[in-house]
A = this chain, B = another copy of it.
Amino acid sequence: MYAVILAGGGGTRLWPLSRRAKPKPFLPLLGEESLFQLTLRRIEPLVPAEDVFVVADERHRDVVADQAPQLGDRHLLGEPFARNTAAAVALAALTVSRVDDDVMVVLPADHYITDPAGLRDCLTVAAEAARDGSLVVLGITPTGPETGYGYVTGADVDESPSKVRRVAQFVEKPERERARELLSSPPGAWWNAGIFVWRRDAVLDGLERHAPGLVSTLRRGLEAGEPLAAIYERLPEVSIDRALLEPASLEDRVRVVPADVGWSDLGSWNALQAALAQRSQSADGVVAVGRAEDIGSSGILVHSSAGRLVVTVGLSDTIVVDTPDVVLVCAADQAQEVRTIVDRLAQAKEIDHL
């Protein structure tokens, strides 16, 4: 078994902490280690460092080397720029030299999981299920009808909860009502968290059948020694879900392993607030990272990473983020607007702050 960690996420919604120079995977959002480092540590008992490969933006090579000195330089597959997950997975499948029936585990570098042992158990079950050439997805137990995630639905009604299931379909970011339906109809549905387990030949064969242009362009360019930036320019920008898993599910090639492992994508300040509140078991709902003083607030997250003292008084449901050059103060229920601010700064060419 070998692991391919996808560390190309931008984490725009965690601005101003997440920046182009050091985006979300490389930030110690929950403590001393970055999400990338936590991801490595999580799979370490299952996949030793010599079998771990990281796909990340070439610009972050130094950050990866700093944070994971145990990985050799060859273990970083640097992308010239992000081209979504199908390109990243294909790059790893083509360039990491392994035998065909080796099992590849694909893991995002910027998620959080409270039960690492549970995750490893699920990955072991998934690796077994992948032996026959199936494409296996870990299915996160949903906590509600979220509209921001992709769902996979089971094909069979009469299976036991822990069993590997056949996948009927993928549903990308459904409306609220549809999400409710998915959750309530047997045999249930799970969130697709981008954690995949498959044989190297299964993913390459599948990509060649369902996304032939992508694989052939990449393969020929690499064989011709063309610069990766020139090859990447010609690749379609598509997710591995859409390029491979959706069409393969119609051919009954996809399986799901239910995974109740305390997963969070930490996809917004709200999600980080929830994860930190759970960890700290804060009674008054005041969660702080860094130097902070509070009087009488509730439901707040204070994140101070620039050494300054952040003082909060009488706030409710508010997020305060202090960085060396930007301070963000945001109503918790408006956290999705952070993206709007980032867009506005990009348009105004305020790139120092991005």
Task: List the interface of chain A (C-beta within 8 A of B).
Answer: 16, 293, 295-296, 304, 308-316, 318, 320, 322, 324-331, 333-335, 337-338, 340-341, 344-345, 350, 353
Contacts and interface: CB of A to CB of B under 8 A. Distances in A.
B310 A327 contact: yes
A122 to B, nearest CB: 37
A314 B331 contact: yes
Contact of A334 (B293, B296, B337, B344): B296
Which 5 A-B pairs give the minimum distances between C-beta atoms? A314-B334, A314-B331, A313-B330, A310-B327, A311-B328
A329 B318 contact: yes
11 contacts: A295-B340, A304-B327, A308-B326, A310-B329, A311-B330, A312-B328, A313-B330, A315-B318, A318-B318, A318-B329, A327-B327
Nearest to A16: B311
A329 B326 contact: no
Contacts of A324: 308
Contacts of A296: 334, 337
Contacts of A314: 330-331, 333-334, 337
Nearest to A15: B311
A309 to B, nearest CB: 5
B320 A329 contact: yes
B313 A327 contact: no
Contacts of A316: 331
| Most B-side CB within 10 Å, residue of A328, A329, A344 | A329
Contacts of A313: 328-331, 334-335, 337-338, 341
Contact of A327 (B308, B325, B340): B308
Contacts of A295: 334, 337, 340-341
Contacts of A318: 315, 318, 329
Contacts of A344: 293
A335 B313 CA distance: 8
A311 B313 CA distance: 18
Contact of A329 (B16, B315, B334): B315
Contacts of A328: 311-313
Contacts of A315: 318, 329-331
A308 B16 CA distance: 12
